[in-house]
């Protein structure tokens, strides 16, 4: 079945074609500096369903999701809590993995940590220096944005907007070592009391963007099929990932760019910095994994939506309806024809992962199964329901 996905680079839906015998997918993972919230769950559940669906269609998928286990936030927050930065990160990473498993997200095939791939990052930085698009100053290495004429092709932002957003997301425009405020750091010199690794430019640590490029290319090659993450990563992270990767290899870095919409709460984007987060662990105490998963998948992955707990109650009722499918039994031989529902379900899923429409289709079928169970055989319908559940990551309770 032909699958269409919205490619952020092309800004339209495109037919997804498999190159070679395996789909390589890289999703930017968390920075383990705080507890996971509903926004995180929405991102990683969306990509989990994509992996499940592609595998259901017969594709071999290699799913890589990284862990940014060293950055400014981890250092700052661990110091504030008087904890070792490594222990602090490991605790949050472990909690996150357990919560994603509870939510029935399949573990990625590879789960690389940034701190375990420093050498790959150094090799990549050396390539950029050799090509003349990076420069060294006082032990720091920067990518010179002015040297890349294609910088901005993903986000299509003006330089003014680029600088504004970058400054909100970790850029230091007043860094005296920079030639241009928009230049981004590839390697930063060691600061007192911070962890550091040795490099040709002195002790320090990698910049945020170089981490993902190095890890993605190590495990998936110089051109990957799908690169994904939250829409807040589109700029500067993904824009910079394209720039450094394609400059280094002279090859297309990613064929498809997929971005998951932001979840809002109290009128603002749900984020750790604003503190308007709804934690997964709190929802875990009140609802089943199925209920929370149905709640998340009731929104299209690219949509921006507002969190309302009353909608989780609706999802709970939908799960109850779905579970009724396996409680009823039929005594007749003539089978309920489910071909129309199957067609609609696969059509929704193949049209840019339309989980919202797919769930509506399953609700319609569930009502029909319960209604016709005494008049027609529902065995085939139950088999299809099991298949659909596996694709959506739901479980029979």
Q: What is the CATH number of the domain that holds 357?
A: 1.20.120.640
Question: Does 262 lie in the same domain as 333?
Answer: no
Q: Is residue 317 part of a domain?
A: yes
Question: Does 151 lie in the same domain as 237?
Answer: yes
Q: Is residue 140 part of a domain?
A: yes
- With beta carbons less than 8 A apart as the criterion, state whether 217 and 242 touch: no
Q: What per-residue confidence (pLDDT) applies to 312?
A: 96
Q: Is residue 292 part of a domain?
A: no
Question: Does 183 lie in the same domain as 75?
Answer: yes
- With beta carbons less than 8 A apart as the criterion, state whether 104 and 393 touch: yes
Q: What per-residue confidence (pLDDT) applies to 331?
A: 66
Q: What per-residue confidence (pLDDT) applies to 221?
A: 97
Question: Does 190 lie in the same domain as 41?
Answer: yes
Q: Any idea what the CATH number is for the domain that residue 192 is in?
A: 3.40.50.620
Q: Give the separation between CA 136 and CA 124, rounded to whole angstroms.
A: 14
Tens-level pLDDT at each residue, the chain (397 residues): 799 999 999 999 999 999 888 999 999 999 999 999 999 999 999 999 999 999 999 999 999 999 999 998 899 999 999 999 999 999 999 999 999 999 999 999 999 999 999 999 999 999 999 999 999 999 999 999 999 999 999 999 999 999 999 999 989 999 999 999 999 999 999 999 899 999 999 999 999 999 999 999 999 999 999 999 999 999 999 999 999 999 999 999 999 999 999 999 988 888 777 778 899 999 999 999 999 999 999 999 999 999 999 999 999 999 999 999 988 887 676 788 999 999 999 999 999 999 999 999 999 999 998 887 777 888 888 999 999 999 999 999 8
Question: Does 52 lie in the same domain as 184?
Answer: yes
Question: Does 322 lie in the same domain as 265?
Answer: no
Pairing of strands 204-206, 305-306: unpaired
Q: Is residue 290 part of a domain?
A: no
Question: Does 244 lie in the same domain as 155?
Answer: yes
Q: Looking up tokens 């099991």, which residue turns up?
A: 386
Give 248-289 as a DSSP string: HHSS-SEEEEEEEPPEEETTEE--TTTT---BHHHHHTTS-H
Q: Is residue 279 part of a domain?
A: no
Question: Does 120 lie in the same domain as 50?
Answer: yes
Radius of gyration of the chain (CA): 23
- With beta carbons less than 8 A apart as the criterion, state whether 380 and 336 touch: yes
> The domain containing residue 334 runs over which residues?
309-392
Burial class (CB in 10 A: 0-12, 13-18, 19+), 286: exposed
Domain count, the chain: 2
For residue 253, give both structure tokens.
Answer: 């870095």
Q: Give the separation between CA 66 and CA 96, rounded to whole angstroms.
A: 13
């Amino acid at each position: 079945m032909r699958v269409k996905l919205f490619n952020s680079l092309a800004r339209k839906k495109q037919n997804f074609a498999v190159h070679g015998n395996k789909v390589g997918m890289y999703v930017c993972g968390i920075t383990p500096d705080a507890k996971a919230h509903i926004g995180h769950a929405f991102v990683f559940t969306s990509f989990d369903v994509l992996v499940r669906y592609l595998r259901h269609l017969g594709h071999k998928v290699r799913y890589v999701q990284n862990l940014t286990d060293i950055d400014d936030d981890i250092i700052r927050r661990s110091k504030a809590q008087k904890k070792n930065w490594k222990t602090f990160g490991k605790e949050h990473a472990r909690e996150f993995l357990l919560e994603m498993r509870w939510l029935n997200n399949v573990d990625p095939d590879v789960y690389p940590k940034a701190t375990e791939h420093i050498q790959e990052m150094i090799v990549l930085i050396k390539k950029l220096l050799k090509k003349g698009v990076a420069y060294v100053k006082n032990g720091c290495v920067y990518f010179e944005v002015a040297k890349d004429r294609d910088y901005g092709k993903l986000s299509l932002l003006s330089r003014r907007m680029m600088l504004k957003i970058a400054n909100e997301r970790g850029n230091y425009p007043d860094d005296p070592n920079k030639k241009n405020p928009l230049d981004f750091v590839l390697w930063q010199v060691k600061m007192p009391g911070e962890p550091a690794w040795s490099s040709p430019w002195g002790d320090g640590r990698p910049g945020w963007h170089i981490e993902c490029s190095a890890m993605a290319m190590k495990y998936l090659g110089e051109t990957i099929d799908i690169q994904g993450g939250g829409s807040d990563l589109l700029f500067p992270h993904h824009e910079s990932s394209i720039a450094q990767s394609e400059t280094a290899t002279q090859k297309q870095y990613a064929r498809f760019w997929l971005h998951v919409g932001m979840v809002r709460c109290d009128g603002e984007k749900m984020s750790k910095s604003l503190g308007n987060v709804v934690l997964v662990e709190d929802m875990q105490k009140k609802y089943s994994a199925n209920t929370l998963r149905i709640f998340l998948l009731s929104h299209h992955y690219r949509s921006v939506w507002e969190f309302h707990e009353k909608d989780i109650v609706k999802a709970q009722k939908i799960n109850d309806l779905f579970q009724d499918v396996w409680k009823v039994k039929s005594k007749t031989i003539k089978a309920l024809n489910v071909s129309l529902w199957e067609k609609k379900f696969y059509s929704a899923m193949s049209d840019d992962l339309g989980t919202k429409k797919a769930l509506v289709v399953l609700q319609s079928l569930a009502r029909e199964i319960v209604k016709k169970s005494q008049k027609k055989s529902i065995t085939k319908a139950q088999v299809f329901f099991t298949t659909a559940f596996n694709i959506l990551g739901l479980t029979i309770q």
